[in-house]
Chains A and B, each alone.
Chain A
């Protein structure tokens, strides 16, 4: 079993906060396939299309037959620990602060031996489960876990380092008026969040949801992503206390381009959905980036809830979809800007949500509880991309297969 992490004591204001460092990030182009799979928490390796040999490490030509046709496939992630070592001294600045560190070799049931980090509860020569996750440099690494869950296993330092675990951390949920906020607050509380802050825009309008949020112990603070001043105030007060930010601000109206007669709604969609993300990041990003090594409750993740229509436009909500595509593109820039700090940016893509604006659409529609579940799952996994619900998953699959075919299907070109 793992010793449970204790709630962190209040910081000693005389001590300098640790500065962010990241593990070695250099990878070959082929090895980025591992990173892409880890972004969604998938365990994938190249499998030779000609001879069927499973490849590790990732490469450009098959180790057996030299074929260059090496597509990535999901692999059964089990194996056996062959050898291990505990590193007690290193010149690497990231691991130097985190010693001792356990690493070793696992023979995968699917064939190749793999170099991996090893969870503290794995016994010598034991059967293991392997997971492929992003480390703090944002690159895919393999971690060997005990075959069966052990008590408090999420508190193992190897696992905590690659997850964005909400336990003991302080969370800001940006838009208290979004109908998914109560479910988010509850799910994060259940996941062990130490403090939940919830932003409320326009307190001059009635807010029916206040009691539900206060009942889960959340604190409601003024925040409007379209108002730069409100974000500056928030950053001044809470900038150093936000470990996980969940940006669920959203403005959505039906309509595309010429079935609207002005750009006002589009401007509002962009103000909230795209520029809101930008303002939030300008106000809170630097402080979060500076606190990624700040102990147990370090800053760890930035979460955007995006529509899967960011990938391909749905013309009945064409203008909204464009704002989501803009937000997705901004999030890629932001992810790169976060990279040196190790702060994770996770996008949770959702299909049509079960709310007033999707009322005339047929099911399936994603419920707030389902999004909340996937947010927590994504944080536990330290993922970058989460596709929530059947519609988002299906859209992602079709997008990968052929974006042009998807465009035609989404815009009425299919059957």
Chain B
């Protein structure tokens, strides 16, 4: 049996599980909020075009609108100023083989439950590796926080000094990008950076360092608690938007039972 035939039969018999890491695109799903004088991220909106009625008797369909960075979404290098000149930095230019690949999941859920501003540090990454082995080159690294189980105002967790949600420190991201040469970094929160990420040097280190190095981001994911620390395969192809800096997408993981 060929590899793919094997895979198909494993998916069919349940020995490989397909886990959906995607939130439903819903008008009520939070988006990142910037100070009011900046341009804002458009929420997901849906307008009925027809619904088996006088506007189209036999069919139902909608016009939808949103930002590239609404809902569960992919960040391409050109999203950030550091990645503006990176070759193949827009979603339509990313090679297709980069859209399917291995994934490791660092469980920070315990720490994030204690501390809204929980930081992923190099020490945590090294401890993870001591237990699960070195993070392979060109792998996705996801930071599990169980933040996706929050809803309403608790998700952005905005206070008068800005949002509070977990994320990586600059050193942690440097370690992943410069030493481990990962493919990309993903989170359950609204961004790859911590809620207070503006106050690091550089500000928004995950965005700045990842995209400057041509790496990708994934955010607003869910169900990371169903993934093993290592050994799963991530399928994360953004829409092929010409010059797009990101895109909402369906993120799937293949997990061996």
Contacts and interface: CB of A to CB of B under 8 A. Distances in A.
Interface string B34-45: 001001101101
A204 B39 contact: no
Interface stretch (B14-22, B151-159, B181-189, B241-249): B151-159
A205 B153 contact: yes
A203 B30 CA distance: 9
B207 to A, nearest CB: 21
Contacts of B97: none
Given A226-B43, A226-B45, A206 B27 contact: no
B158 A206 contact: yes
Nearest to B39: A264
A227 interface: yes
A415 to B, nearest CB: 32
B14 to A, nearest CB: 36
A206 B155 CA distance: 11
A374 interface: no
Contacts of B46: 228-229
A313 to B, nearest CB: 22
A227 B27 contact: yes
A356 B33 CA distance: 18
Contacts of B29: 204
Interface centre among A203, A204, A207, A224 (most CB of B within 10 A): A204
B27 A265 contact: no
B153 A203 contact: yes
A204 B27 contact: no
A204 B48 contact: no
A205 B45 contact: no
B28 interface: yes
B161 interface: no
Contacts of A356: 36
B15 to A, nearest CB: 39
Interface string B178-222: 000000000000000000000000000000000000000000000
Interface in A246-290: 262, 264-265, 268
Interface in A227-249: 227-230
Given A227-B45, A229-B46, A264-B39, A205 B33 contact: yes
A409 B88 CA distance: 52
Given A228-B48, A229-B27, A204 B155 contact: yes
A356 B64 CA distance: 32
Contacts of B13: none
Nearest to B48: A228
B47 interface: yes
Contacts, number: 44
B214 to A, nearest CB: 27
B104 to A, nearest CB: 30
A229 B25 CA distance: 13
B43 A204 contact: no
Interface residues of A, number: 17
- Interface size band for B: 20 to 34
A206 B152 CA distance: 9
B30 A204 contact: yes
DSSP majority for the A interface? Answer: loop
A265 to B, nearest CB: 7
A268 B48 CA distance: 19
A130 to B, nearest CB: 49
Nearest to B158: A206
Given A227-B27, A230-B27, A264-B39, A204 B156 contact: yes
A353 to B, nearest CB: 16
A205 B156 contact: yes
A346 to B, nearest CB: 28
B84 to A, nearest CB: 17
Contacts of B36: 356
B45 A204 contact: no
Interface in B58-89: none
A183 to B, nearest CB: 22
Interface string A207-234: 1000000000000000010111110000
B47 A204 contact: no
Contacts of A265: 39
Nearest to B157: A206
B98 to A, nearest CB: 30
A226 B42 CA distance: 11
A226 B44 CA distance: 10
Contacts of A203: 28, 152-153
Interface string A362-402: 00000000000000000000000000000000000000000
A108 to B, nearest CB: 53
Contact of B27 (A207, A224, A262): A224
Contact of B153 (A204, A226, A264): A204
Contacts of A268: 40
Interface string B130-170: 00000000000000000000011101101100000000000
A265 B39 CA distance: 7
A203 B158 CA distance: 12
Nearest to A262: B39
Interface centre among B27, B46, B158 (most CB of A within 10 A): B27
Interface string B46-62: 11100000000000000
A227 to B, nearest CB: 4
Interface of A: 202-207, 224, 226-230, 262, 264-265, 268, 356
Given A203-B153, A227-B45, 4 more contacts: A204-B156, A205-B158, A226-B45, A356-B36
8 contacts: A203-B152, A204-B152, A204-B153, A226-B45, A227-B27, A228-B46, A230-B27, A268-B40
